Structure 1
């Protein structure tokens, strides 16, 4: 990749990140009783089943203390519950409740609606191409983060 294109791509990524909070604020999910960042723990829990907070933090590439605080929000809101870890009775795992499944679905639907609005004028084949390239980009970045010894420690989620 040429330096000019990598600079342009980097600028666009920064632009997307800057818009993140405003974009999240447009989601019409109602009050689910937890911060958006805590709600983002629900999809992996729903997909992969109950897990320890430390494992969830590793999966999310986030600081375990931050994920622990977010998990507490989910439990308080009734969106997740703590249960004994069958592998170690002294430890607990976080599991999604039925209310958490419903919240996860509301967030997914709100995100899909926002993206549909943003991409309403795009032809379907362009959306597919962009999605494929974005997925490939994310895989490449994840692979770099896993294998590059100079990768800095995780940032708080």
Structure 2
């Protein structure tokens, strides 16, 4: 099998595993949105709904419905954007941060369990190669991103 087919197979298997052992409160799409809102540092800036929809490749109305659901569940806070009264700035609530932390831990456990029979050098090599692949893909995406679609 080609590398791209093996990667597609691995990602599909991971998706099925995540679905089979779904977390209590977050679907995969919910988690994806919350991770985008999770601050990388304590001074993380709020995100606009439109920008989040664009970065995820979703229609703004689809993103709006997802965000409304997350806000109703107390995971996301929406505040009016002072620069544009029609837009909202989004941040994770403390409950949203905790939900992301729990889901990340759940995912780590699923992957760790899957690698249970692997020796340490193989695990380290897999991590190194996946990091290298991710860096290459992100660089390529940045080079090919159309004008006006910067994040």
Using structure 2 for the length normalisation, give the TM-score.
0.78
- Which residue of the partner structure matches residue 112 of structure 1? 108
Structure 1 position 49, deviation (Å)? 4.1
Structure 1 position 85, deviation (Å)? 2.2
Q: Please identify runs of 4+ aligned residues in structure 1 that moved more than 6 A.
A: none
Deviations 1:36-57 (A, max 9, x none): 2122211231224421122223
Aligned partners of 1:97, 1:149: CA distance in 2, in Å? 31
Number of equivalent positions: 142
Identify unmatched segments of 5+ residues in structure 2: 147-151
Aligned partners of 2:89, 2:54: CA distance in 1, in Å? 14
* Structure 2 residue 54 is the aligned partner of structure 1 residue 43: no
Equivalent of residue 63 in structure 1, options 58, 63, 78: 58
Aligned partners of 1:112, 1:149: CA distance in 2, in Å? 31
Question: CA 1:95 to 1:15, structure 2 compared with 1: closer, same or farther past 3 Å?
Answer: same
Equivalent of residue 128 in structure 2, options 115, 129, 132: 132
SS at match of 2:111: helix
Question: CA 1:89 to 1:41, structure 2 compared with 1: closer, same or farther past 3 Å?
Answer: same
Q: CA RMSD in A?
A: 2.5
Aligned partners of 2:136, 2:64: CA distance in 1, in Å? 28
Aligned partners of 2:120, 2:51: CA distance in 1, in Å? 37
